[in-house]
Amino acid sequence: MNKNRIVTFAILFLIAALAVLIALTFIPKKTQSSNPQSFMGQGGQQREGSRNSSAVRAVEVSTATIENSVIINGEILARNQVTIFPSVSGRLVESFYSVGDRVNRGDIVAMIDPSRPGEVFSRNPVVSTVSGTVLLAPYSIGDTLSTQSAVYTVGDLSTLLIETHVQERYVASISQGMRALLWFEAIPGEMFTAEVNEINPVLDPLSRTLRIRLRFLQPDVRIKAGMFATINLVTNRKVDVTVIPRLSVINTYGSWIVFVVDEKNIAHRRVVTLGIENEEYVEILSGLEIGEMVVSAGQNFLSDGDLVRIVE
């Protein structure tokens, strides 16, 4: 009986030992990645490959021509526009020309009767002092005119000008030869070039604006006197200067900063000095070198030293 018990206990012991051996064989060992020290390099620093990178877009710092401009409205005028007045007061009895007619210098354009009740005088001619096209004829036969009444406005339509008024804050930037782009509602989809050729030396005291006139560089017969123009006037222009996209720059506590990506894809915070800017680009006066990579999208979530991943 005792012998059977001993055999039974021996069998149970063998079965238990075998179970423990099987369990130890199939329990997975901890990998190296589960060890916190496996991510640490010399001196306890975290390996670069284990860091999370931020996806950003970047552009190369380059040189280009940058322009600063202002959008204003203007009116098309005849270059030589003259108002013709009668030499005497009286009633307009004859008018020989209409708007759009061509007149020459010395032509009689109208007749004035200076007679008064009980008096008879000879009719007095109104003579054109210039050659051109009649732009305005505001009076009708029978109207009583004075010597200050403009019988006709005559202009030379062979050369047109654009007249506009510039706000006081841009006055210091205006100069002869400054370029501008124009477009018209009557000619959609097309742009025309002009340049400043006349600057009024005095500002209008009421509107605080400066009157300037521009001439077309390539005249077009479709452009008529009296048309309304939208003008993109270039107030400042720099050639071959360092530029980056305007959206790359961040204003932080009064300083302008950008993030520069090095060859290891690490973003570095950089303070820059700005020059002129437009809707797309900004000039960099200091803080960047040609060829450096500047973050153009995603920089608002970066800190100095962050690992980044440049995407297209």
Q: Where are the domains of the chain?
A: 2-33, 50-66+239-310, 69-77+158-237, 81-155
Residue percentage of the chain with pLDDT more than 70: 87
The predicted pLDDT at position 141 comes to 94
Q: Is the model's pLDDT at 219 over the cut of 90?
A: no
Cα 157–160–162 angle (5° rounding)?
Answer: 145
The predicted pLDDT at position 226 comes to 86
Q: Which residue has the tokens 């009557």?
A: 186
d(CA 38, CA 31): 10
The predicted pLDDT at position 119 comes to 85
pLDDT in tens, 71-115: 999 999 887 889 999 999 999 999 999 998 999 999 999 999 999
pLDDT band at 36 (very low <50, low <70, confident <90, very high): very low
Mean pLDDT of 34-53: 45
d(CA 208, CA 16): 103
pLDDT band at 21 (very low <50, low <70, confident <90, very high): low
CATH pick for 69-77+158-237 out of 3.40.50.300, 2.40.30.170, 2.30.30.100, 2.40.50.140 = 2.40.30.170
d(CA 75, CA 161): 8
Give the CATH class of 81-155.
mainly beta
Ranking 18-32, 161-175, 251-265 by mean pLDDT, the lowest is: 18-32
Q: Is the model's pLDDT at 13 over the cut of 90?
A: no
The predicted pLDDT at position 50 comes to 43
Q: What is the CATH number of domain 50-66+239-310?
A: 2.40.420.20
Mean pLDDT of 200-223: 92
pLDDT in tens, 121-176: 889 999 999 888 898 899 999 999 999 999 999 988 878 899 999 999 888 889 89
